[in-house]
């Protein structure tokens, strides 16, 4: 079983790197004006932006699914960033995220792929349960805690993976909606390179159509990601931080 987990993580990380290199989601952490500061999103998964909001940092737990060899597996990922500053220790549901530094910027990630097998998040579920975040604080980053109620799992009903769709007819995407307060983000990524099409803050009503004009130059093999997300905020030290819980589902189609 350990061998299958290692293979899964190798395939998963390969897919994350590939997808991250083929889209420009924008940086992962908000700055004071609700935009982002140019830092690469190391999760490889779409994150909602919050333009016009005054968020000083982000904490997010992501469930990402992957299929290989007849196996369907889901991975719980954690990420946090405070504008590149060191915030001390960061944990979600008791799982401490690994602190990483790059070019003087600090961010937090889990799983830790340096361990064998990679250490995943334990007790972080995506079924309407709570994700409880804790930050010890350091320097300008205050200590804080807060929670967000996760969305519940879902499936993409259409298009089915592997089908060919006509751009002239528009791209209709449907998923099974379980209601609640979750919002939806859709990312359409050309696998041969180029800019993705991203729409967010959609209602979780199970149906959205992108017109041919919205799809622009997208053609050929294309990945569609549907992201159901919830969020909450925590106030500390005179600033506001956002906590996100999201589930990412994807299918690959051919657009002509």
Does the structure show a pLDDT above 80 at 179?
no
The pLDDT of 105-116, averaged and rounded, is 80
The pLDDT of 20-43, averaged and rounded, is 45
* Chain segment 196-217, per-residue pLDDT in tens: 999 999 999 999 999 999 999 9
* Chain segment 127-166, per-residue pLDDT in tens: 999 999 999 999 999 999 999 999 998 999 999 999 999 9
Q: Considering the entire predicted model, what is its pTM?
A: 0.84
pLDDT of residue 48: 92
Share the mean pLDDT of the chain.
Answer: 83
With a CB cutoff of 8 Å and minimum separation 6, the contacts of 102 are: none
* Chain segment 83-99, per-residue pLDDT in tens: 999 999 999 999 999 99
Q: Span 156-229+249-255: which CATH code? A: 2.60.40
The three-class DSSP label of residue 142 is coil
Kindly indicate the confidence band of residue 118, based on its pLDDT and cuts at 50, 70 and 90.
low
With a CB cutoff of 8 Å and minimum separation 6, the contacts of 226 are: 154, 156, 173, 175, 184, 185, 186, 248, 249, 250
Does the structure show a pLDDT above 60 at 8?
no
Residue ranges covered by each domain of the chain: 2-151+237-244, 156-229+249-255
């Amino acid at each position: 079983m350990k061998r299958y987990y290692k293979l899964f993580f190798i395939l998963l990380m390969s897919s994350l790197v590939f997808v991250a290199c083929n889209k420009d989601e924008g940086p992962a952490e908000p700055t004071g004006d609700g935009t982002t500061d140019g830092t690469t999103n190391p999760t490889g998964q779409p994150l909602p932006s919050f333009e016009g909001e005054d968020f000083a940092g982000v904490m997010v737990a992501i469930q990402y699914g992957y299929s290989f060899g007849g196996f369907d597996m889901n991975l719980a990922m954690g990420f946090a960033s405070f504008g590149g500053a060191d915030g001390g220790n960061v944990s979600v549901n008791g799982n401490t995220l690994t602190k990483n530094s790059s070019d003087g910027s600090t961010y937090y990630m889990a799983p830790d792929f340096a361990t064998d097998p990679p250490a995943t998040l334990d007790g972080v579920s995506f079924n309407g349960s709570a994700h409880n975040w804790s930050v010890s604080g350091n320097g300008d980053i205050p200590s804080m805690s807060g929670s967000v109620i996760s969305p519940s799992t879902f499936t993409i009903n259409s298009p089915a993976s592997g089908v060919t769709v006509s751009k002239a007819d528009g791209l209709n995407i449907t998923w099974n909606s379980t209601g609640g307060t979750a919002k939806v983000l859709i990312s359409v990524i050309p696998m041969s390179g180029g800019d993705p099409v991203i729409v967010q803050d959609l209602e979780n009503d199970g149906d959205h159509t992108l017109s041919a004009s919205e799809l622009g130059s997208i053609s050929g093999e294309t990945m569609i990601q549907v992201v159901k997300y919830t969020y909450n905020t925590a106030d500390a030290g005179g600033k506001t931080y956002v906590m996100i819980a999201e589930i990412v589902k994807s299918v690959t189609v051919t657009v002509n």
